[in-house]
Structure 1
Amino acid sequence: MSLINVTNLTFAYDNSYDNIFENVSFQIDTDWKLGFTGRNGRGKTTFLNLLLGKYEYSGSIHASVQFEYFPFHVKNEELNTIDVIDEIYPDYLHWELMREFSLLKISEDVLYRPFDSLSNGEQTKVLLATLFLKENSFLLIDEPTNHLDRNARKLVSDYLHAKSGFILVSHDRSFLDNCVDHILSINKTNIEIQKGNFTTWWENKLRQDNFEFAENEKLKKDINRLSKSAKQKSNWSHKVEKTKNGTTNSGSKVDKGYIGHKAAKMMQRSKAMEKRQRAAVDEKSKLLKNIESADSLKISPLAYHKKQLAELENVSIYYSKMLACTDISFTIEQGERIALSGKNGSGKSSIIKLICGENIDYTGVFRKGSQLKISYVSQDTTNLQGNLTAYARNNGLDESLFKSILRKLDFSRVQFEKDISTFSGGQKKKVLIAKSLSEKAHLYIWDEPLNFIDVISRMQIEELLLEHSPTILIVEHDNEFCKNIATKIIEL
């Protein structure tokens, strides 16, 4: 066991408006299985890069271990997998690699296939096996679940459960719960560490939020009471002061010294009340510092004139005579929230392309309602560029609505001026989701929309789908999300 000590860490990117981290201090035990969470753009990947020494910063990071980052950059994906592994870690022992392969259920024959011929899930598992061969290193694992199907996520989660000595960035609640024993969270104003899994951390956070809300309400009442009292005392002192130049009811002259003294005392009490009020306001400003803004999202689905929007009956899809999927049958009816589930390569994206109207070879019967409006969220964010104003205009969106949705998804106003190509992976996906939520459609089709999306935003999207019940077909490997929102699951 050893410690990683972070002391007074402060960092901002060049030409940035504000610091990402400011005087942050904490300790990490290198034996921990540490889950790393926080909203998109808060600096999770930036912090991992600081540990790796990629940027200059003020403060200090002291560690007696080496850091290794996942995913590895593979320079030449056309090489056989065994050569890719050799480039990453030339000192590995074959029997140790086979031990890790066995735990991850990878067959040995993938070593002798080109790396780029492996599925995304196979590539992830091969690179994870290579990562855990590196002894005496603290491992920085950045979102390994993206593009992993549900079965692969469970397998990788069980694999990590048996390991230790890592920071794991993930937004999949079930995945985190199964394989971490501490949570490192980047909040609005600080970084904190708690013992336990994600669910434990979230329950503690809700308790703290509720406490702060209660304290805030109490302070509001106190401030109102103090404000009324201070105003009343001030009015009294001014009334008394005015009597200095008058007479008593009996006609005799007033004692100006006595009244002046009384008015001064009342004014002093009034000033004291105002001081207490200002102190209360200052105290109030310290509260709610880490409560995340998670305003309700809205969607405006169109009602279709028929109950059934689409139907597939014994559909098989082909690419260049290669079978992508076979004998698929299901219907999409108004108000249904359908989760399309299955292993990577089972044909989920092919079915989506068919429904969206792409020219695809298929057999069987496919029916789609006439004049059906579809709003589509793609997996791919690589072509996003330009600022949000231009993006809204080019896509025929109501700019005000589009940006208000992004604000609710934790975008700062500063972000609106930046080029979308510089956004984090999660922020890019939020752009696509906000575009879809801005569109009026009969059917929403989302292909792996939650890759890179933070947990709190996932919960917002869950609440949206449950409250407004749009007709939606969704491919998503987050088990908790699908369990919560789906009215029907289609297993391929």
Structure 2
Amino acid sequence: MLALENISLTLGDQPLFNSIDALINPGERIGLVGPNGAGKSTLLKIIAGQIEPDEGQLKLSKSATVGYLPQDGVDPDPSLTVLEEVKSAFSDLQELREKTRKEQQKLSHLESDSDQYKQTLERMGRLQDRLEQSGAYSLDSDIEKVLMGLGFTKKDFNRSTTEFSGGWLMRIALAKLLLQQPTYLMLDEPTNHLDIESLQWIENFLLSYKGAVIVVSHDKAFLDKITGRTLALDRGNLYDYAGNYSYYVEKHEERMDHLRKAYKNQQREIKELQEFIDKFRYNASKASQVQSRIKQLEKMDKIELDEHEEEITFQFPPPERSGAVVMKLQNISKSYGENQVFDGLDYSVERGDKIAVVGPNGAGKSTMVRILAGLEDYDGGSREPGHNLTTNYFAQHQADELDLSKTVFEIMREAAPNARETRLRTILGCFLFQGDEVFKKVSVLSGGEKSRLALARMLVNSANFMIFDEPTNHLDMQSKQILQQALDQYEGTFIIVSHDRDFLDPIVSKVLEVQPNRVRTFLGNVSYYLEKKREEENETLNTASANNRTGPPHSANGSGSGSTLSRKEERRVEAQKRQEKYNKLKPFKKKIDPLEEKIETLENRKQEIEQEMAEPDFYDDEVQVKEISLEYEKLKAELVETYAEWEKLAMKISEIEEEFE
């Protein structure tokens, strides 16, 4: 069990947390959400023991472990290879292996009937038991599976960590954490450094992860798939929602509707009280009533509404019309040393195309869009821009090129000297630079803030061909939605490298898949592309399975090395197999049926409680809140245990059914 009790923290003069509480049960999948600056990363650091709160305490069972992946700033040992760096997280297992090896060596030099031989054999047996229980025997294969799932190739395993970019170093840190399997796994924006393939892999990994998972992410599709509970930070308070991100959005809006109505009623009441006070302030006969209303106002718990809840939008100015063919690449070849990225690449971008670029990291996505933008040299072939083409390009490294001595607003003014101040401020507001924040020096901005500023600077000028390389990595949900809406209404052509399916799906109509030395186009959005990829994979598996089942051909007259069974004999064999399958499945089916009934009962009660909690007056009765909340937490813990038991039985049933297919 992990419990946060009355956690309070003030940073500078700003209260960040106001006595927040939360109970996190083993096995839960939780999304931690809230606007930028709400304290999501800080809360994870408190749980990880990296920050001490001003008040309150963190309770953690003695056997529990906590693992934390920060957004950035990981620092692997430069003297190690990728494989050595990952294995360094298991130094205790390496020591255990070394001890076992030494005992084995010692045993080989002892007489088998000596007391020393027996004692050494016992010690070695205990060490081997510990190794087996710790998973040391499968460690090498587990490491290989996780690293390859995160996009590394076997050739990468023996490369120095110094050869990899910051994004790949984050993947190495993530691999170490996933393999350590902490009881409470906390991930801060883990999807920023992943491509679509590795993102799908980690989704499946986390869905079957044994411990609890707490995720901070701005990827809605990712949160919806892996989480079943959402903790929302808002102005110092922590709200608990019993569902994924989409459920949270729906219930949060309902809560805000109630809050707006309550705020409106309270403002009307305040106005009436103030009017009475002003009218009869100097009337002696009404003095006691006036004082009563003054005290009523003073004691009133004022409802506050988030001032920047208003909808912020912006639109791209209509771009000039380009030629029908925006860009044409012919027979492009490109290599980095011995690594050949493209050989004879042909690709055309047509006016009005809305293209998502996907594919594994290292396949050449960024190289291709840089060639399209005219920023990357190529070894052979031709690049032909279309008629009347104007291009804008965004990549995260552009944040490093910002002038540190200038303010945020000066950067924007420099990019668009003739633009109106209100337009510049609107665009900055879309990317979380509001009020006096526009006068901050670039030198004091975080990495994420610099990336947002670089994106805002790009969008201030009109172009008819826009190229983006991972534009959403440092955007919160609101900023992503604003950019998405603007691109949806944009009349020009754009191409976007991104793994954010929820962001891409409504705005793209083509998917360009970049694989080593080849590209393919799919006419549809990213969900359509993933569906087609699954169909291709299933077809490949079915073909392979059919080939495996196909035995040597039999002659029509029964001669040769094989002979056919009679129909009667076939039926007897099939019946025998069915009976054998039934006998094997029976004990597991007998156990799983009551478990399914129990799960249904628990889920129904859970749903009843959630409906009660959603009622506006639920929290009026403190005793009821305490009793039902306690029942709710016990219910969720029981569900986790029951599901785990059900999964074991379901897996065994699945294995038996596969055996008889």
The TM-score range, normalised by the shorter chain, is 0.7 to 0.9
Matched, 1:24 2:41: no
Q: Is the 8 A contact 2:67 2:182 kept in 1?
A: no
Structure in which a larger fraction of residues adopt helix:
2
2:91 corresponding residue in structure 1? 90
Post-superposition offset of 1:124: 4.8
Sort the Cα spacing of 1:421 and 1:61 in 2 relative to 1 into closer, same or farther, 3 A.
farther
The equivalences for 1:46-85 within 5 A come to: 46-64=42-60, 65-70=64-69, 73-77=74-78, 79-85=80-86
Match of 1:409 in 2: 431
Give, in angstroms, the shift of residue 155 of structure 1: 0.4
The CA deviation at 1:449 is 0.6
Over residues 12-53 of structure 1, what are the superposed CA-to-partner deviations in whole Å (9 max), with x where a residue is unaligned?
0xxx45233343333333542222222223322222233344
Say if 1:18 and 1:413 are closer, same or farther in 2 by CA, change over 3 A: farther
2:343 corresponds to 1:347: no
In structure 1, what is the equivalent of residue 354 of structure 2? Answer: 337
Question: Residues 143 and 89 of structure 1: is their aligned pair in 2 closer, same or farther, counting only changes over 3 Å?
Answer: farther
Name the CA distance, whole Å, in 1 between partners of 2:55 and 2:293: 40
SS across alignment from 1:23:
strand
Aligned residue number for residue 240 of structure 2: 193
1:482 to 485, 490, 504: 504
Of 156-165 and 347-356, deviating more is 347-356
The question of whether the paired residues in 2 share the 8 Å contact of 1:184 and 1:194 is answered with: yes
Given candidates 386, 389, 401, the residue that maps to 2:409 is: 389
Q: Is the 8 A contact 1:318 1:360 kept in 2?
A: no
Structure 1 portions without partners, runs of 5+: 238-262
Partner SS state of residue 324, structure 1:
strand
Residues 344 and 369 of structure 1: is their aligned pair in 2 closer, same or farther, counting only changes over 3 Å? Answer: same
Contact 1:98/1:108, CA 8 A, preserved across alignment: no
Counterpart position of 1:379 = 396
In structure 2, C-alpha distance between the alignment counterparts of 1:274 and 1:296, rounded to whole Å: 42
Q: Report if the CA contact (8 A) 1:294-1:460 is conserved.
A: no
Q: Report the counterpart of residue 192 of structure 2 in structure 1.
A: 146
SS in structure 2 at match of 1:171: coil
Q: Which runs of 5+ in 2 are unaligned?
A: 94-135, 515-661
- Match in the other structure for 2:453: 431
Write the distance in 2 (CA, Å) between the matches of 1:96 and 1:450: 35
Q: Could you say which structure has the higher strand fraction?
A: 1
Distance 2:350 2:295 in 1: 61
Residue of structure 2 aligned with 1:99, choices 117, 137, 142: 142
Separation in structure 1 between the aligned mates of residue 371 and residue 183 of structure 2, nearest angstrom: 47
1:247-286 correspondence runs (5 A): 286=303
Show CA shifts across 1:371-429 (max 9, x none): 63322211223444343133234434545533332223333434334333443443332
Q: Return the offset for 1:73.
A: 2.6
Which of 336, 351, 354 is the aligned partner of 1:319? 336
The CA distance in 2 between the partners of 1:118 and 1:389, in whole Å, is: 34
Q: Normalising by structure 1, report the TM-score.
A: 0.79
Q: 1:390 to 1:125 in 2, by over 3 A?
A: closer
Aligned to 1:419: 441
How far does residue 370 in structure 1 lie from its aligned partner after superposition? 5.4
1:100 shift after superposition: 5.1
Shift of residue 156, structure 1, vs aligned partner? 0.8
Q: Which residue identity lines up with residue 63 of structure 1 in the other structure?
A: K
**Distance of 1:73 and 1:139 partners within structure 2:** 16
Q: Determine the C-alpha separation between the residues in 1 that align with 2:311 and 2:454.
A: 18
* Inter-CA distance 55–277: structure 2 relative to 1 (3 Å threshold): closer
Residue type of the alignment partner of 1:5: L
Structure 2 Cα separation of the partners of residues 341 and 40 of structure 1: 27
Q: TM-score, normalised by structure 2?
A: 0.60
Equivalent AA in structure 2 for residue 33 of structure 1: R
Q: Report the CA distance between 1:307 and its aligned residue.
A: 3.7
Cα distance in 1, alignment partners of residues 8 and 41 from structure 2: 15
Paired residues of 1:209 and 1:291 also in contact (CA < 8 A): no
Q: Report the counterpart of residue 207 of structure 2 in structure 1.
A: 161
Answer whether contact 1:39 1:410 (CA < 8 A) is retained.
no
Structure-2 change in CA distance of 1:337 and 1:60 (3 Å): same
1:45 and 1:466 mapped to 2: Cα distance? 31
Is the CA contact 2:27–2:212 (under 8 Å) kept in the aligned structure 1? yes
Whole-angstrom distance in 1 between the partners of 2:400 and 2:159: 27
1:452 aligns with 2:456: no
Identical pairs, percent: 23
Q: Which range is displaced more, 29-38 or 109-118?
A: 109-118
Aligned partners of 1:120 and 1:148 also within 8 Å: no
Q: For residues 98 and 423 of structure 1, do their structure 2 counterparts lie closer, same or farther at Cα, with a shift above 3 Å needed? A: farther
How many angstroms does 1:229 deviate by? 9.5
> What letter corresponds to residue 113 of structure 1 in structure 2?
R
Q: Which amino acid aligns with 1:340?
A: V
* Alignment-mate amino acid for residue 438 of structure 2: F
Distance 1:132 1:152, change over 3 A: closer
Structure 2 distance, partners of 1:304, 1:274, is: 66
What number of residue pairs does the alignment pair up?
458
CA distance in 2, matches of 1:225, 1:85: 64
